[in-house]
Amino acid sequence: MSEAVSQADDDLELDELVRRVDPDRWLSSRFIADPAARADVVTLYAYDHELARAPRVASNALLGEMRLTWWREALDEIYGGKPVRAHPTAQALAGVVARHSLSRAPLEAMIDARYRELDAAPMGEAEILDWARDTGGLSAQLAAQVLDPATDARMALAGGSAWALGKRLTAQPDLRPVFLKVIHAARSASRSLSVAAFPAVAHAALAGRPASNDFARRLRLTIAVARGKV
């Protein structure tokens, strides 16, 4: 009983974290009806957030690499059957991996993608597309897999990639042509996702379209979910 209570507390802690740092994906996760599945998807977003923090909070590239290596070692523990370090996201991720038989490759690719952010040089078009696919894209693919193992989770890649690119448009408006290509692909691909898996990409409906208030953002998401198209 105490273990179940502890798990519930951890789920609430991560949910509050994602609500604060990742409001778009937190809102899209509200359309997941099953609380356990919602918590597992939120855990994936918390993991992506922790990886994204590494380049941002490190004072130099070496410290950023050390933070990313910490998470690679956490994957070693999760997939090696070892005790997992006492970090709420790492502990929760271990549970998600076990429950849904997630492979290590996409979770590790998400780490690898963040190394590029340690280099201050601008990314070319091919690099930015790879980065978007391996950050927001893989997060969405894993979320779709968790929500519906029977769906083709690869159809979530474009939606997650578009959302990731959309987050960079304010600072890099020159990315808009690339973003428009990806969001067009996302609108087509999202139709192939099952109803259960669609919340994995619903947040792409907010990409590149700043809303004036929270109600407008929620309305866009509701319409996207109702139509099954970002």
CATH number of domain containing 18:
1.10.600.10
Q: Which pLDDT score, from 0 to 100, does residue 5 have? A: 46
Between residues 70 and 59, the one the model is more confident about: 70
Query: 1: pLDDT confidence band, cut at 50, 70 and 90?
Result: low
Domain span holding position 138: 2-227
Q: Which pLDDT score, from 0 to 100, does residue 9 have? A: 63
SS3 of the chain: CHHHHHHHHHHHHHHHHHHHHCHHHHHHHCCCCCHHHHHHHHHHHHHHHHHHHHHHHCCCHHHHHHHHHHHHHHHHHHHHCCCCCCCHHHHHHHHHHHHHCCCHHHHHHHHHHHHHHHCCCCCCHHHHHHHHHHHHHHHHHHHHHHHCCCCCHHHHHHHHHHHHHHCCCCCCHHHHHHHHHHHHHHHHHHHHCCCCCHHHCHHHHHCCCCCCCHHHHHHHHHHHHHHCCC
Q: What is the pLDDT of residues 101-113, one digit of tens each?
A: 999 999 999 999 9
Count of domains in the chain?
1
Chain mean pLDDT for the chain:
93
**Can you give the pTM of this predicted structure?**
0.93
Sort residue 123 into left (φ over 0), alpha (ψ -120 to 50) or beta.
Answer: beta
